[in-house]
Structure 1
Amino acid sequence: KLDFQRVVLQRIPQMAAQPTRVWRDLLFVCDEYHAFATVGETDPSGDERAFALSRQARLIPIVATQSISSLRSALHGDETWRTLLQCFRTKVFLATSDEFTARTAAELCGRRDRLKAQYTLSEGGQGAHISLLTGRPAASKHTLTASKTYAPHHDYIFPPRVFTALQNAQAIVLPYDGLNPLPPQFCYLKPHYLDVQTSYFDQLARGAL
């Protein structure tokens, strides 16, 4: 990994010296990334520095990890995982059973104000007394008042429980189009081994997912 990153960073001065040449994009794909991740802190060989600089060298890093907790436990320091996580602009969250991952993903997706209805019921009576037959309070005249109000609540766009309830081939994505970040979205995925011309919902109805 370090040799690959070193070669990628060496492209930067070469690209600056030959601006008219067409340079190919590079792809870094790593599964179980938490087993290979490193954060440099004071050492310049950390992944966060390599990924930050390698954009100029046309590198596209794609990594997958079991959970944010797996990445967090593999790195030294309490907040170093945040430094590494922010290097990846597009984030795809699949189903997780890890509470910390679900909570962190919900925080990354953000919050928004939503109007929630609140109902209030109140009962009143005139001539209140204690019934001699039942021993309960009673009144000769009763009034019942119901009211409905709306109040803003600052809630998660996607609460943590949504991430733990995702089904197969479902994901919540924080996309980035190369220029601007896009709002978090609920996405339906299509595995590569299924027909690309068939919709997710048809595949689900057939039991292919």
Structure 2
Amino acid sequence: MKAPALAATVARKANDGDRLKMIAERLQVSSPQLLSWLDEVAENAPHETTAETKALTEREQKALLAADSALHSTPLETWAYIRTAIHYWEFLRSGLSIDKAARLLSQSPEEITRQIDQRTLYGISIAGRKIVLPDFQFTTSGVLPGLDVVLPAIPVDMHPLGVVKFFSHPHSDLTLLDNAVSPLTWLLSGQPVEPVVDLAHALEYYP
């Protein structure tokens, strides 16, 4: 099933789109925009499993269930796509524009654009017009250590949510004080970049 058809199916499952409209209003976006996110998520990234969709955060519950108490009966499959779309929306909303990134790094917008093209900074094109740089790659003093080496090792076609998950989720191959840590924590603590590069290369075979 192609993405637009899938989004329409999700809308129908949410009571002909009425509940989806209320969800969009709670999120302060339009229904077409929410469906657009659903389309992109469906086409580019697998949705979260039904087991995971049961564990909504308190804020998600407030934003979604407050729209309509009948949402409690919404199928888990619908929750999966909506929840992933919310994550994508929050992820883009927290990012930096090219101009903001340039000011943060005391560089020109042209330099930022060049680094995005060279994959030493991570930028996402929205609707082919605006570029957003996810904030995970920036620190209070500049850029995440080792980012310029890790990013080129990540498959170029990996969905943005997958890239963020790679950096932010703990990995058993990265341990500090006997605890598994994320590549982000590993790099911020000044550890060698090579183990993270190896994990990034492995994404081509085990995404």
**Which bin holds the TM-score, normalised by the shorter protein?**
under 0.3
Q: Which has the higher helix share?
A: 2
Q: Using CA pairs below 8 Å that are at least 6 residues apart, which structure has the higher relative contact order?
A: 1
TM-score by length of 1: 0.22
Asked which structure has the greater CA Rg, the reply is: 1
More strand by share: 1
